[in-house]
Homo-oligomer: A and B are copies of this chain.
Amino acid sequence: MKQKVTLKIIAKEFDVSISTVSKALKNSNEISEEVREKIKAYADYYNYKPNSLALQLRAQKTSVIGVIIPEIVHHFFSTVIDGIEEHANKRGYNVMVCLSNESFEKEVSNISVLTNGSVDGVIVSIARETQKKEDYNHFEMLLKDGFPLVLFDRIVDSLKCDKVIIDDIGGGFKAANHLLEIGSKRIALLTTEDYITVGALRKVGYRKAMQSAGLEVDEDYVFKINDTKNLYRQIEKIFHLEKVPDAILAVNEIYAAIAMKIAIEKGYKIPEDIAVLGFTSGLISKFTSPPLTAITQHGYLMGQQAAELLINRIEHTGPKEFQKEVISTGIKIRKSTYIGE
């Protein structure tokens, strides 16, 4: 690459000092009209732009925020990043994305790389492996130094920092309630293993809804799916129950889509025989047949909120106490639970 033009080079060109060039380019009236103009012309011609590293080093501020997510090939996380970007840009920040790939080690190393001065703060959604290990030392180190940190979606309560979460309990409740309202009696729950908070919380909501309808939660109707094994085979077990459920509540859209597919193959009519409802994070729900009723998650909003909290923390605007924002879910009713029309 060609030498980038710097103040020094321009200064040498016109045989003036570096300060003169700097001031001329900033239109300071300490510098004569004449000198100013020729320097600006030269800088313009050679497309001078101040080196941001130098600026950042001097200002002790990068105007970059780091984001660490478990994976990017996931519609929900993409929407969150989109929201972060939008808000960050509006406030003059850029975004640096790192992926943990659900790995503890990679998360730790990402944190380490990002917090060595390259960013003013970080937003993170914790990796699975970290949640399983329950080792949050890398975060605690940051917080001890007062480094701006915002956790979203996959959070841990014990860490003293700003957080943004989806109202998963509310979502689970809303989901189960909808099924109860359309008359379902035996609602099967397709959820994740317990250590995955999101699944666990949605289950809590489901349980709450069942109880407030005066129904017992039969643990035989709760299926904890292991993502690393064959999904079809695990989900199919729903249909081995003595009394096949009249509704299925899945904590994500993949499980829901698969359950629906199996149900149809087995000759059940949806929603007449079995109603199906999922939590959506992508486009699948819209294109299954029948289209899937789903709890919607507003990742974009979540990203915006996270960015806002972080930048407020960085700039010391906003409250001193740590915030915990809760993003409420929506429900998009489609044909998989809706008879009539």
Which residues from B are CB-within-8-Å of A95?
96-98
| Bitwise interface map of A from 231 to 250 toward B, beta carbon under 8 Å scored 1, else 0 | 00000000000000000000
**Interface flag for A271 (CB, 8 Å):** no
**Interface flag for A90 (CB, 8 Å):** no
Q: Which of A141-197 contact B (CB under 8 A)?
A: 141, 145-148
Contact for A288 among B73, B94, B287, CB less than 8 A: B287
**Inter-subunit contact B54/A117 (CB<8 Å):** yes
| Bitwise interface map of A from 104 to 122 toward B, beta carbon under 8 Å scored 1, else 0 | 0000000011011110000
Looking at A26-34, A79-87, A201-209, A211-219, the stretch in contact with chain B turns out to be A79-87
Per the CB 8 Å criterion, the residue count for chain A at the interface is: 51
| Bitwise interface map of A from 52 to 72 toward B, beta carbon under 8 Å scored 1, else 0 | 111011000010100000011
In the bound complex, CA of A174 to CA of B82 (Å): 34
Which residues from B are CB-within-8-Å of A287?
257, 261, 284, 287-288
In the bound complex, CA of A99 to CA of B90 (Å): 13
Using CB atoms, name the residue of chain B closest to A47: B141
| Bitwise interface map of A from 13 to 54 toward B, beta carbon under 8 Å scored 1, else 0 | 000000000000000000000000000000000010111111
In the bound complex, CA of A279 to CA of B257 (Å): 21
